[in-house]
Amino acid sequence: MDFHKIEKYIVRWLANYIDNTSLNGFVVGVSGGIDSAVTSTLCAKTGFSTTVLNMPILQKSNQYLRSDEHIKWLKESYGNISSEEIDLSPVFNSYSQHLPSGIQDHLTMANLRSRIRMATLYAFASSEKKIVVGTGNKVEDFGVGFFTKYGDGGVDISPIADLMKTEVFKLANHMGIVDSIQKAAPTDGLWEDDRSDEDQLGATYEELEWAMKYTSKEVSHSIDKRQSDVLKIYNDLHSANSHKIDSIPICKIPLELK
């Protein structure tokens, strides 16, 4: 892949989108991970005003510091960047106090964090007349559904959603994203124990990308025991998360009933 051409293509795609609207630019949540770092950099390269938000919620310091480092690098490199740091921990804690304790399992509360951040991104987008830019990649968005519905999945456009996770890393390297982000183990930052994506998924991104290509007939060969296990992980996740991956079902009323 020619990542110089891919970078130019996505930047032009983003710029054309804004050119065809009456909006002012982009809002991106920066998590300290590779996807948001690449996405915010691509937005910055358009020349349009780009607001980046660091929104910690009871965050591990390593994730928080990586976000800060990336934002500092962005602002030093591009003149169209503005940033805000908003500690949403009090909002999350207040919300938690008003929910019945019986529904506050770990996954529910992790998703709540993501949805609070989404609402914050849209508050800025509405006020500044900008759009919220998604940071999801292809294997997460369309393979295993590894995102929060109406959380980090609640966006206006998705510039890197046709790139696999490994391709996002290569694009990051091409664009000179800060080393700490390139070297960090991928994590969604929604858990207090700092678990990685691989811990949650049960497979590496390289393995899941292979499974996605295998199921779509892009590759075809005999498989070993580990590949068989990975295929099961991939298919189980894809099936369980199809409600996020597929379009929202609409009940079509027959004409004779109207």
Domains of the chain plus CATH, in order, are 3-245 (3.40.50.620)
131-180 pLDDT, tens digit per residue, is 999 999 999 999 999 999 999 999 999 999 999 999 999 999 999 999 99
Query: With bands split at pLDDT 50, 70 and 90, how would you rate the model's confidence at 119?
Result: very high
pLDDT over 90, % of the chain: 85
The two structure tokens encoding residue 191: 């858990």
Give the CB-side neighbour count of residue 74, counting CA atoms within 13 A. 31
Query: With bands split at pLDDT 50, 70 and 90, how would you rate the model's confidence at 123?
Result: very high
Cβ-based neighbours of 156, under 8 Å, separated by 6 or more? 125, 131, 132, 133, 134
By the 8 A CB rule, do 142 and 119 touch?
Answer: no
Query: Nearest-CA neighbor of 107 among 208, 200, 232?
Result: 200
Global pTM value: 0.93
pLDDT of residue 80: 98
- Across residues 212-235, what is the average pLDDT? 90
DSSP bridge pairs for 50? 26, 81
- Across residues 92-99, what is the average pLDDT? 95
Cβ neighbours, 10 Å, residue 72 = 12
The two structure tokens encoding residue 101: 């304790």
CA distance 92 to 112: 8
Q: What is the overall mean pLDDT for the chain?
A: 93
Cβ neighbours, 10 Å, residue 219 = 12
Stretch among 23-37, 43-57, 181-195, 223-237 having the lowest mean pLDDT: 181-195
